[in-house]
Structures are given as structure tokens and as C-alpha cells.
Amino acid sequence: MDDNINKNRCIGLVGHGGTGKTSVGEAMLFCSKENSRLGKVDDGSSILDYEPEELKRKSTISSSFANFKWNKHIINLIDTPGDFNFFTESKNCMRVVDGVVIFVDASSGLKVQTENAWEIATEYNLPRILFLNKMDKERADFNKTVNELKNTLKPDIVPVVIPIGAENNFKGVIDLIEEKAYIYKKDGSGSFSTESIPDDMADETASLKENLLEHISESDDTLLEKYLEGEELTLDEIKNGWQKGFRILYLYHSLQEAHY
């Protein structure tokens, strides 16, 4: 464990049951090489869900803890229950974390426990990331879900990552900050290739990138002045502005962008 407290982060995974919190937590452990295999809830190989009742239900009923190293930081992860009957655990965990990732199922939209998690995070003044999961499922709709979140939660939601395709045609994501496309391999390894942005998404990407830059520039007077004068922000300025404004910007994010 790193003794430098400034290099430690405590992150809670919260939201309605069935939105994929545990699966994403398992992916984090696998991608960071903390675990040599990708644990899965459905086949009972999850590390985070290990109690017999959890294995039987295929659902988290008590908070579990794990940590991994990423970009010279220690990430302490708390995977919390989403079921109403065990949601007190989620609330208690949110008292001690530095921030939360709030999960939303892009195929079924905002559900009550996710909304409750948002309200608790607001009460505790926690920075938060909205993670739109399950873009490969039937009826997954990114834009519809984002609009629902805007109308219900009332934050100024600013996408940082957008999906390429949906349902059976979901291929990967576009990183708006670096303007790169990550195309996933369909072998279950979690690996991906870095490619240029698809031509048919160039206009959408440019529009959303401009919206993102506008919000990032508001985090710093120097950046704002530079942006308003029409000067191009450097990649480092964009990343630093994103980090500085994190407590006032509620951003959609993806695991592949965890290095920011």
C-alpha cells in the first residue's frame, strides 16, 4: 500500500441493482492486472461477490472492498448493493468515499435506487461520474438515457465518452478529450484497438467536443479567457481543467478513460 495519502483514492460503485456495478469492478481489477482472470457474476467466478447467498442470487447483498494500482495511484474500490433491502450499506459507504461512480443501465434507463444514490451523493457533496452501462443490450439508447438523466436529475451532464453503435452493433467508444476511437475485440479479453473516429460520427464528435471544452474552460479563468478568445486548448490544459472542474461537472465516463 502506498504511504502517500495524496496517491490514494476511495471510490464507491453505486446504483440500482443489475446495472453492472460488480462486473465493472471485476473489469477494473482485471485491466489493472490485480486479478489474472476476469471474474463474472453469471458464472459465479466474481471476486467481489463471494458470499454463498450472493452467488445464489447473482446479486450483491453486502459491500465488498478491493484495491488496485493505476497510474501510480492506489484505487480503493467499494462495490455496494443496489437492492432496496440492502441499500443502507450503499449509503453508509458513501460517507467515507472520495467520489462515486453512479451506474445507469442504458437499455432500461434511470431506476429508483440509482436516483436515490444521486440524491445521497448530492447530500454528501460528492463528486460523481455517471456510467452508462450495457450499451450492447437490446433497446440500449445512449441519447435517450442522457436526456432522461438531464430531465430527472437536473445536473449539467456533459458527455466525455460516447458509444459507437448500440445493441448488437455496439463496437466501442469515442474519447472526446483525445478524439480517439477505442474498438473492442469480441473475444472477452477486454482488449481493444485505438483507431480514428468513424467518418459518420465526425460531426457529432466535434459538436460534443466543443460542448465539453466550453464546460472545462469554466473551471479556470485562464482557460476561460483563452477559450473565449478562440485559442485552442492544449491536451494537458484540457485534462487539467477536467480534473479541476470535477467537483462541479457531472460527467459521463468510461473505464478506458480512467487514466485521466
| Sequence-distant (≥ 6) Cβ neighbours of residue 212 within 8 angstroms | 158, 159, 160, 176, 177
What's the pLDDT score for residue 7? 86
Which of 156, 178, 162, 175 is CA-nearest to residue 245? Answer: 156
Exposure b/e, 162-181, CB count within 10 A at least 16 = b: bbbbbeeebbbbbbbbeeeb
As a whole number, mean pLDDT of residues 165-181 equals: 94
Q: Are strands 172-175 and 180-184 parallel, antiparallel or unpaired?
A: antiparallel
Q: Fold for domain 1-155? A: Rossmann fold (3.40.50)
| Per-domain boundaries in the chain | 1-155, 165-245
Read off the C-alpha cell for 209: 467536443
Is the pLDDT at 191 greater than 50? The verdict is yes
Neighbours of 19 (CB within 10 A): 26
DSSP at 224 = H
Q: Is the pLDDT of residue 247 over 80?
A: no
Higher pLDDT, 259 or 102: 102
Q: Of all residues in the chain, what percent carry a pLDDT higher than 90?
A: 60
17-35 mean pLDDT:
92
Model pLDDT for residues 213-228, shown as the tens digit of each residue: 998 898 888 999 999 9
Contact indicator for 18, 83 with CB cutoff of 8 Å: no
The band of 188, judged by pLDDT with boundaries at 50, 70 and 90, is low
Q: What is the mean pLDDT of the chain?
A: 87
